[in-house]
Structure 1
Amino acid sequence: MVNQLMKIKSFSPKLTLVQRLVAGYAAMAFFTAAAIAFAIIGLFSVHNIATEIARKDLAILNATSKLRETMQAQERYAAKYQILKSPEFTDMFRGRELEFLDLLQKLAKSRQQPDVDPLIKSYEEYRINADRLFSGNDNPEALKSSTAQVFNAIDLIYNNTKDQLRVKLEAADEKEKFTIAWTIALSFTGFALAMAVASLFIYNVSTAIRRLKTATHKIAEGDFDYDPKIKADDEIGELARDFINMAARLKVLEQMSLDASPLTRLPGNIAIEGILNKRLQEDVPFAVCYADLDNLKAYNDHYGYIKASEVIKKAGEIIYEAVKAKAEDSAFVGHIGGDDFVMVVAMENSVPVCEAVIKMFDEEIRNHYTPEDLARGAIDAMDRYGVPRTFPIMTISIAITICRKGEFDSAVAIAKAAAEIKDYVKSMPGSNYLINRRKVKR
């Protein structure tokens, strides 16, 4: 047996130091190249998933958002036509209708899913009911029901897309786990042959993948502000940037869905606080216009909450249109709640905006009173203390707070400053605005 082993050993080729070194580096190069290739393939696959999400799923989410916005506009114009019977609202409605149909056609082409058919059918029913409205044979309940069905169908597509997005994120997570496992295995094989070279590769790749894995979990849990802090200009860095952009867009869509007022569809308190804090960080003066309706409670008691809600909704539309017409593109309109609204505009645009709001509101509010009450110029109702009183036609009061850098440290401070003059403005007869130029003392 010993003799046989000696014979086998004598036939084994002898390797020189150079050959062993070359063999060692060849093995290192092989395993390192294999590890790099496997990592790149895995990351490229995950990148493709993220790219598909950014180009397809987010585009669909954006399309549903635009569909909802266009549908809300049609709903408003139909409601205005019901009240005013003006042909111009029919034309405006038809314009939005064409925009909705164009968006719907594009959505149907890009999303081959059965959930698009209910939207198409429900919108066709809505168009039929809308045509009846404009022809004078309207059925308010049928129009309201078909409107709700359209919104439900849009929400179904939105929610289904979100679910599909979650599945893709989970698939990306599994792909990352698979990539991590094999990359580490191949890297450590090379590490046994050339510790210095392999360790550097493992550190760079493993760190990036772990951060992407953490980012995937954070986004799936709803932490849309998480930053994996990957600055490299490679596939991993590009993937990290895709994750950040995707998370930012998801955050906006989530906030729009949860924070918007169900009555006016305007952003709520979370968005208002966010825009104020953002503006406070900028070295540009701006104005916060706090609008409040006067004698709404008396109107509510006299005409009922449905008519009062219509007035609030109309006031939101007037404020939005005035800001859109008179202010800069970056201006903001929010609905605090009830009959309180906020406009955030450039300082020089505050007066034109407020004057436009007052003019439009004073003209519109007359359409919400009976001819008898308009002739009297007042209505009878109980005040907040239960005492019968006569209240004039509803007006609007706007408190303007000029904000310069360093004068306010929070949205709460701005709201407090606006409250200081709001009551004074409301005590003035008619619709008015007042500018608070006083600097806050620290």
Structure 2
Amino acid sequence: MLLSPDQELVALFGQAFSPDEVELLDRPCGRGAIEHLFNDPPDLLVVDQKLDDIPGLDLVAMVKSENVYRQMPVALVMDEAALAARDIDWCATEVDELLTRPLDAVMLRARVSLTLARASRSLDANPLTKLPGNTSIIGRIQELIDRKEDFALAYADLDYFKSFNDKYGFSRGDEILMMTARIIVNTVRAVGGQKAFVGHVGGDDFVFILPPDRVEDACKAVVASFDDIVPHFYDAEDRERGFIQSTDREGNRRSFPLMAISIAVVFNRNGRLTHYGEASQTAMTLKKKAKENPRSCYVLDRRQY
């Protein structure tokens, strides 16, 4: 949505984007557009500081004061001369992009596209680890499948994480997740090079993608690092005993081993996979096999195709 009385700016959007790419709704005033804005939130709100009825920054503050719309990306349009003349506290201004006149169609397209891409990554990122989330993970897997690239997809999750959370609390559980993320990211970066990818599905589930010939080295390193570090997150008494007392899902008191990490690895070779769901289904089967081992381990899909 574009809120601006400037018809040249409206025309410039028409030059920068085709109707197939962008459904442009333009309004010259702010107040009259707010109801429509709240009823049908746009992917991006572009606000001209020179609205007919209210300063653009004031309208931005009104929109962002509604918690449900705080994540909506907002771009502010200002004249370059007006920007230099005003003392604006940009740290307190909830604007995601600044567009300064004079603008041309090429620059407008680039800045708007980058704003949308940045907002998409931000919304998808896991709030704890800041790693790419489900949308980015699925997109990356499907992109590699569509390009018929060979790759190894590893699904990693933690065994006995719930029992740790139940005994020590969510704060210490979050520390475990951050530690696991660091181990995977550092290992995959060292082993995988530029084609490596790490994502956080959610909870204690992680994904990493590597060339097929490098994934086993990465799995070995992740398992070794995790087993070396994780005992130090337990109290000394539990660490020395080698298990903790906690409650299972049925409410029964029982003993649980120290946490372990299980990794299931699926390979895409010679264009075998056609959809990311195939990889996910195979990985779930392999993870069940990995979890039969109470210790940290990895399982590779050894089937030949």
- TM-score, length-normalised on structure 1? 0.47
Q: Which amino acid aligns with 1:332?
A: F
Residue type of the alignment partner of 1:276: I
Match of residue 179 from structure 2: 314
- The structure-2 alpha-carbon separation of the partners of 1:359 and 1:332, relative to structure 1 and needing over 3 Å to count, comes to same
1:353-410 Cα shifts (integer Å, max 9, x gaps): 1111111111211221011111100001122222222111111000000112432221
**2: CA distance, partners of 1:244 / 1:280:** 29
Q: 2:281 aligns with which of 407, 411, 416?
A: 416
- Counterpart of 1:328 in 2: which secondary structure? helix
Read off the aligned partner of 1:364 and give its amino acid letter: I
Paired with 1:305 and 1:357, the residues of 2 have a C-alpha distance of 23
1:247 to 1:279, Cα distance in 2 relative to 1, 3 A: farther
- 8 Å contact from structure 2 (residues 96, 115) kept in 1: no
Task: Give SS of 2:193's match.
Answer: coil
* One-letter code aligned to 2:290: V
Q: Is the Cα contact below 8 Å between 2:247 and 2:254 reproduced in 1?
A: yes
Note the aligned Cα RMSD (angstroms).
2.9
Question: What is residue 43 of structure 2 aligned with on the other side?
Answer: none
TM superposition shift of 1:275: 0.4
Distance 1:245-1:263 versus aligned 2 partners, 3 A rule:
same
1:439, distance to aligned residue in structure 2 (A):
5.9
Query: How many angstroms apart in 2 are the aligned matches of 1:114 and 1:363?
Result: 50
Whether 1:115 and 2:89 are equivalent positions in the alignment is: yes
How far off is 1:302 after superposition?
Answer: 1.2
Identity of aligned residues (%): 34
1:328, 1:346 within 8 Å by CA — same for their partners in 2? no
* 1:390 matched residue in structure 2: 255
Q: Which residue of 2 aligns with 1:369?
A: 234
CA distance in 2, matches of 1:439, 1:264: 35
- Read off the aligned partner of 2:261 and give its amino acid letter: I
Q: 1:160 pairs with 95, 98, 106, which one? A: 95
Q: How does 1:325-336 map to 2 (within 5 A)?
A: 325-336=190-201
> Does the 8 A contact of 1:290 with 1:341 survive in 2?
yes
Distance 1:403 1:371, change over 3 A: same
**Whole-Å Cα distance in 1 between the matches of residues 96 and 165 of structure 2?**
41
Mapped to 2, the partners of 1:161 and 1:262 lie a distance apart of: 18
The equivalent residue for 2:290 is 425
Indicate how the Cα distance of structure 1 residues 428 and 251 shifts in structure 2: closer, same or farther if over 3 A, else same.
same
Structure 2 distance, partners of 1:289, 1:247, is 35
For each residue in 1:175-219, what CA deviation from the matched residue of structure 2 results, as whole angstroms up to 9, or x when unmatched? 9xxxxxxxxxxxxxxxxxxxxxxxxxxxxxxxxxxxx7xxxxxxx
Amino acid corresponding to residue 175 of structure 2 in structure 1: E
| Equivalent pair of 1:285/1:403 in contact (CA under 8 Å) | yes
From 135, 138, 141, the equivalent of 1:276 is: 141
What is the alpha-carbon distance in structure 2 between the residues aligned to residue 362 and residue 376 of structure 1? Answer: 16
For each residue in 1:211-259, what CA deviation from the matched residue of structure 2 results, as whole angstroms up to 9, or x when unmatched? x7xxxxxxxxxxxxxxxxxxxxxxxxxx3xx555445433331122111
Change (3 A) 1:255 1:161: closer
Aligned residue runs from structure 1 range 14-413, under 5 A: 114-115=88-89, 153=91, 159-162=94-97, 164-165=98-99, 239=106, 242=107, 245-413=110-278
- Paired position in structure 2 for 1:438: 303
1: CA distance, partners of 2:181 / 2:123 = 18
The alignment partner of 1:266 has SS state of coil
Aligned partner of residue 273 in structure 1, secondary structure: helix
Shift of residue 283 of structure 1?
3.2
Larger RCO (CA within 8 A; separation ≥ 6): 2
> Hey, which of these two has a bigger chunk of strand by percent?
2
Q: Is contact 1:407–1:439 with CA below 8 Å preserved after alignment? A: no
- The answer to whether the Cα contact below 8 Å between 1:280 and 1:405 also exists between their aligned partners in 2 is no
Q: Which amino acid aligns with 1:418?
A: A
Q: Alpha-carbon deviation of 1:330? A: 2.2
Aligned residue pairs total: 228
Question: Which structure: larger Rg?
Answer: 1
CA distance in 2, matches of 1:297, 1:362: 17
Q: Secondary structure at the match of 1:429?
A: coil
Counterpart code for 1:302: K
Q: Is the alpha carbon distance of 1:286 and 1:310 closer, same or farther for their aligned partners in structure 2, counting shifts above 3 Å?
A: same
